[in-house]
Chains A and B, each alone.
Chain A
Amino acid sequence: MNNDIKTQSSRGGKRLNAGRKTGTGKFGEPTEVVRVPTSQKPIIVDFLAAYQHKQQLEEAIDISSLMLPALNHKTLNIPLFASKVPAGFPSPADDHVEKRLDPNEFLIDQADATFFVTIQGESMIDVGLMPGDKAVVDRSKIPSIGDIVLAVVDGDFTIKVLNRGKDGSPRLLPANASGKYQPIEIKENMTFEVWGVVTGSFRRFK
């Protein structure tokens, strides 16, 4: 019989090395029991919650260098495919599954900045914008000379090709070889703004 071990009663009491280790709780350091006045309890509880949150934030790495707002954050659609073959040969197509084509993905780069506009009139038919077509306008793109843009001239919306006059002031060109439409020169007394860049268009036949 080894008597050294029997230093404490075998009934009740705490068992050595049982329970959670100190400092492994939610605060990451040893804790103690304290009596608090009932009236102050909500304040203290809130304070501790905030304290805990702060500790966690301080432990966290500085993410400012990692987290830059991405310019293109498309949601990633992973093809879901689970063909059930009870036994035997797996479907030879499994390895080739792709997501079905989505016209949104084709037309839209930046959904939060994209708006649809209905074309009226024939001033842009040479670039394929027919009356009734829907143009895709992306506000996140920076307009440059030669882009098709949705512009606001004295409060009215119009779609034209962005161009620059000889004096450097903006000019809007129609795309219609009939000569029916004249370029719009922006003068100093006019209000002018490029609302967004036209990135595409679509139409239905039936």
Chain B
Amino acid sequence: MRNIALIDVNNFYVSCERVFNPKLLNKPIVVLSNNDGCAVARSDEVKVLGVAMGAPWFKLKDLAKQHNILAYSSNYALYADMSNRVMSILKHYSPDQEVYSIDESFLDLTAFKSKDLVAYGQQMRQRINQWTGLPVCVGIGSTKTLSKLANHCAKKRPDFNGVCNLNSMAPETINQMFTEIDVGEVWGVGRKLVLKLNALGINTVLDLKRANPERLRQQFSVVMEKTIRELNGIVCIELEEITPPKQQIMSSRSFSYSVTDYNSLAQSITLYMSRAAEKLRRQQSYAGSVYIFIRTSPFKQNERFYSNGRTISMPSPTDDTRKLVNVALWGLKQIYVPNLGYAKAGVMLGELVAAQGIQTDLFSTQKNTPKSDRLMAMLDSINKKMGKESIKLASEGFSRPWKMKQGNKSPCYTTDWDDNIQALDLEQ
């Protein structure tokens, strides 16, 4: 039997905020999505109030006032750094790891035959909590789908103390537990599927486990059949351990209001491209193609939805911000339609190649000259030393009224020297 563990950080974004701001402990807090739109993470105190995942913040304002709910803008620089720490610690608990999302990781523990896996899971919890301050739960099962459910149980039932190993439990106990869990908690069963399954009389996890896989496959898809087999302990979904190297660099944001004029769009595209180009140079790559896109809001009724993008091949790969911006703005002119309210724009660099051993075009006049390399290196080092955007292209704009709203973002405690924790004298 396989032993597959899923380790997941509880209320990840909220927990990160609390590590660096202990005053938030035991207080109801939410973290909002881009542009401060929806609640994407909720503390337990907020969940108790019945606030759903993804609830729009403007609808919560009354409740927030009543219960003193604090709202934070998402601080992705902080969350990404804390995630890397957790994943790196977990890597030492098994040679087979799949980083599944920013706050979840699968570990294959099958080879640990003589280990007490519940105790091993407790060790992981203890170490991650001590080293990073983040609370995690561990679920262990014979398939990925079962380990996800075990993790759910570890979180919801205090008697597990944060670690649930289905492989060490009696089948009757597991089935009893599965009668109490809604089928929507099963990995890969979304809201729409729940409705369809309920119509067939499948309401709990146990119902789905006992369903006929061939029949449900005909009604749904092969994915459903795999899910049912996985619930019965047959591995159908393997750990994906190899993360493909970054072949694309993406930079995109939503606007704070709908932008109609070409100049604001051009400014935003220039800004995103400058960011992407900086990342490109940091990983010492050149980009062979540029993709740019703009779109209006899909949620606004009575307004035409428009979404368009353009991929442009570079004559020869480059990392020069000026060339990349020129190409992107040329692409923007091709797809820009006047009199529409745009909600989002972005750029993506593709066909990345290593800066070393680059194939230059024999006939190209656009080759990266040593002069351009020096200029870009200088630009990056000045911005690194003097702070972000000390030097930038004028076309990035100065006032940027369209810039994403992040009204209440916490400091970047771990990624910015000016944002570290401040230790005070404290007098009694």
Contact = CB atoms under 8 A, between A and B. Distances in A.
Interface of A: 42-43, 46-47, 49-50, 53-54, 57, 60-65, 67, 69-70, 73, 110, 112-113, 115-123, 134-135, 139-140, 150, 152-153, 155-160, 172, 174, 181-182, 184-185, 191, 193, 195
Interface string B395-428: 0000000000000000001100100111111111
B23 interface: yes
Interface of B: 2, 21-23, 25, 85, 88-89, 92-95, 110-115, 123, 127, 130-133, 222, 225-226, 229, 234-238, 413-414, 417, 420-428
Interface of A is mostly: mixed
Contact of B422 (A46, A62, A120, A182): A120
A67 B95 contact: yes
Contacts of A65: 114
A157 B236 contact: no
A112 B132 contact: yes
Given A112-B85, A157-B423, A158-B425, A43 B225 contact: yes
A112 B425 contact: no
Contact of A64 (B112, B421, B425): B112
Given A150-B421, A184-B426, A155 B23 contact: yes
A193 B114 contact: no
Contacts of B89: 112
A120 B132 contact: no
Contact of B88 (A49, A70, A112, A185): A112
B143 to A, nearest CB: 9
A193 B129 CA distance: 13
B228 to A, nearest CB: 11
B92 A63 contact: no
Contacts, number: 128
Given A50-B234, A120-B425, A181-B427, A152 B22 contact: yes
Contacts of B94: 67
Contacts of A64: 111-115
A119 B428 CA distance: 18
Nearest to B96: A57
The 9 closest A-B pairs by CB, nearest first: A121-B425, A155-B23, A113-B131, A64-B112, A50-B235, A69-B92, A158-B426, A64-B115, A159-B423
A106 to B, nearest CB: 18
A62 B114 CA distance: 7
A46 B238 CA distance: 9
Contacts of B93: 69
A123 B428 CA distance: 13
A192 to B, nearest CB: 10
Contacts of A53: 235, 238
B105 to A, nearest CB: 14
Nearest to A118: B420
In this complex, which of A43, A73, A135, A182 has the most chain B Cβ atoms within 10 angstroms of its Cβ? A43
A50 B424 contact: no
A110 B236 CA distance: 37
Given A73-B92, A184-B426, A113 B132 contact: yes
A140 B423 CA distance: 19
A46 B226 contact: yes
A54 B127 CA distance: 29
A34 B23 CA distance: 65
Contacts of A63: 95, 111-112
Given A49-B238, A50-B234, A140-B131, A156 B112 contact: no
Contacts of A121: 424-425
20 contacts: A43-B226, A47-B236, A57-B110, A60-B111, A63-B112, A64-B113, A110-B131, A112-B132, A115-B420, A116-B414, A116-B420, A116-B421, A117-B422, A118-B420, A139-B130, A150-B421, A157-B22, A157-B424, A174-B425, A195-B22
Contacts of B420: 115-118, 134
Contacts of A47: 234, 236
Given A50-B236, A65-B114, A113-B85, 19 more contacts: A42-B222, A50-B234, A53-B238, A57-B2, A61-B111, A64-B112, A70-B92, A112-B89, A118-B421, A118-B423, A120-B425, A121-B425, A134-B420, A152-B22, A155-B25, A157-B421, A158-B423, A182-B427, A195-B22
A50 to B, nearest CB: 4
A117 B418 CA distance: 10
A117 B424 CA distance: 10
Contacts of A46: 226, 235-237
Given A50-B234, A118-B420, A62 B112 contact: yes
Contact of A193 (B22, B111, B425): B22
Contacts of B133: 139, 195
Contacts of B110: 54, 57
A155 B423 CA distance: 11
Contacts of A61: 111
A108 B200 CA distance: 58
A112 B111 CA distance: 26
Contacts of A122: 425
A178 B422 CA distance: 23
A181 B426 CA distance: 9
Given A112-B131, A113-B131, A43 B425 contact: no
Nearest to B419: A118
Nearest to A119: B423
Contact of A120 (B22, B23, B424): B424
